[in-house]
Amino acid sequence: MYSYKSPIRDVRFCMQEVLGFASHYASLPAGADVSPTDVDVILKAAGKFAEEVLAPLNHSGDEEGAHFEYGKVRSPQGFVDAYKQYVDGGWPRLANPEEQGGETAPYSLKLAMSEFMQAANHSWCMYALLNDGAIKTLMSFADAKLIEHFVPKLVSGEWLGTMCLTEPHCGSDLSQIRTRAEPRDDGSYAVIGTKIFISSGEQDFSDNIVHLVLARLPDAVPGTRGISLFVVPKMDDRSASGNANSLRCLSIERKMGLRASATCVMTFEGARGWLVGEPGRGLNAMFAFINNSRLGTAQQAQAHAEGAFQSALAYARERLAGRSPLASASGGPSALITHPDIRRMLLTQKAIAEGGRALVLYCAKWVDLADSGGAEQRASAAERLAVLTPIAKGALSEWAGEATDLGIQILGGHGYMKEWGLEQRVRDVRITRIYEGTTGVQGMDLLGRKLLGPLRHGLTDLSDEILTFCRQVTAAELKVMIARLTEAVKTWLALTDLAAERSAADPAFAGSVAVDYLLLAGYVSVGYMFILSAQVASSKLADGATEEAFYRAKIQTAQFYFDKLLPRIHAHASSIANGSESLTGMPEASFGLEV
């Protein structure tokens, strides 16, 4: 099995050379004291932790799985000790409020270093890296007393948080939530109901677990407007006795992937909780957590693409098979990497990993601005994220499935075996296309809810930024890429206009084309990341940079993307133009025999 290596140089390239994080941090209150040297130190330390502590536990954790006995969860061997090292290293405190015991830094820095941990051991991260969303939600919506009680121990890592949305009878349709919260005399609430698919709902990492639970008050109106948010701790240390709260883990799921992560069925049996924010505004408050998690899911997917690429590349360099047309006329079998089709697959993986990384970090810059910019800047950043987040989550999770599957294909029969870890990545990454909203949900959020609604100008702002940059690029070697990206942006805009026109007469149109639309948007957005990267690399080479091979590879990867991957938008465009008739015209009975 190949040992994962943290791609620190590539992350530094994205942050410092392409996306200008040094000046970005200098403009932020949370980043003013964070220098490029500080960034490098943090990336290297996180990379070392991922390589030396987390990666060795990934395969063994998958083989052992999470254990459930008598209502308790036991994580695989080594997981708890790794978490203690994580806490002792101060990692939970990074980029969290200083007044709550955190260490001031922009969110983007923590997200950047999290890639290494997600690639090294996704299952372990499902226990340890959910806290930031819980902290952000409480800091944004909870009252001062709740913040004072819960947030410092979440920031320190002593306690861990969860997000409790889904119920047995409903998945993404949260309007059907039945969990209820009944007022108690002391100002708290008795929370009653069952939640499923709760990551780390029960675990052995921390003494207490802070559940953020969506529920309905007795007088709640139907639908999502009647949902409120409650903080419900496993250990009710605010009560006089400090006893365990009235909640239990009933079971953990037997899953396709992430077998070392405990996905729990939780029952709340009159558990004591406290209202977070305003009654009936729970979904609005929880979206601070959800949006945080959606970008995190995009990164999880991208991290798997990177890990799969590394394994496949190592194998392709070592394995000899057949005579390549790129090899010399004499000699024996050629290394796999010399064969054109193997190169196609490797470059597809590389493009997904590197383009996805740049898109995630580009989004993270906007999160920084939404968190701590001026009022106007915050509003603008929130709108840009509203457009980018579903694109990043939906597109990258789809493409990461392709990238990990290509890893198996490159290794052939060996990829299908467990030894190289590719089959585990295929299983583990598959969930990223489902949780925090499926690809279809992301597509409808982007097209139906936003771009055909109040946020069309968000697309206009993004497209103007891309087209303005394209007009400014003068490097001759990038002219063809610039022309292709410019046409792709125009196609995206034209199809948005078409969707608006057709949706006015066809209520099913948006839902029929939403996934095609989202993937097309993804290809264009990542194309922008590649032209930004290629322009920087071209300038560096023109200035005589010493890392010539590194920068030349950036241009060559971008060239591959524009030659082989961006053209996929034409198939998506044709599908969108063909509308909904072939989807909606068939009677239900004609789908096949009833079962």
User: Any idea which residue has 């108690």 for tokens?
Assistant: 184
Q: Helices (H) and strands (E) in the chain — how many of each?
A: 21, 9
- Burial zone of 372 (CB within 10 Å; 0-12 exposed, 13-18 middle, 19+ buried): middle
Residue type, 26: A
Count the Cβ atoms, other than its own, within 10 Å of residue 36: 13
Q: Phi-psi region for residue 592, left (φ > 0), alpha (ψ -120 to 50) or beta?
A: left
What is the rounded distance in angstroms from the CA atom of residue 504 to the CA atom of residue 96?
Answer: 45
CB of 157 closer than 8 Å to CB of 92: yes
Which has the closest alpha carbon to 102: 146, 156, 138? 156
Q: Which of 436, 465, 477, 594 is catalytic?
A: 436
- Give how far the C-alpha of residue 390 lies from the chain's centroid of Cα atoms, to the nearest Å: 10
Q: Where are the beta strands (DSSP E) in 184-304?
A: 189-199, 208-216, 227-233, 247-252, 263-276
DSSP state of 566: G
User: Rg of the chain over CA atoms, in angstroms?
Assistant: 24
Length of the chain: 595
436 flagged as catalytic: yes
What is the rounded distance in angstroms from the CA atom of residue 275 to the CA atom of residue 229?
Answer: 6
Which has the closest alpha carbon to 392: 426, 432, 433, 363? 363
- DSSP string of 318-353? H-B-S--TTS-SSSSPPBGGGSHHHHHHHHHHHHHH
Residue type, 48: K
- Catalytic residue numbers read 436
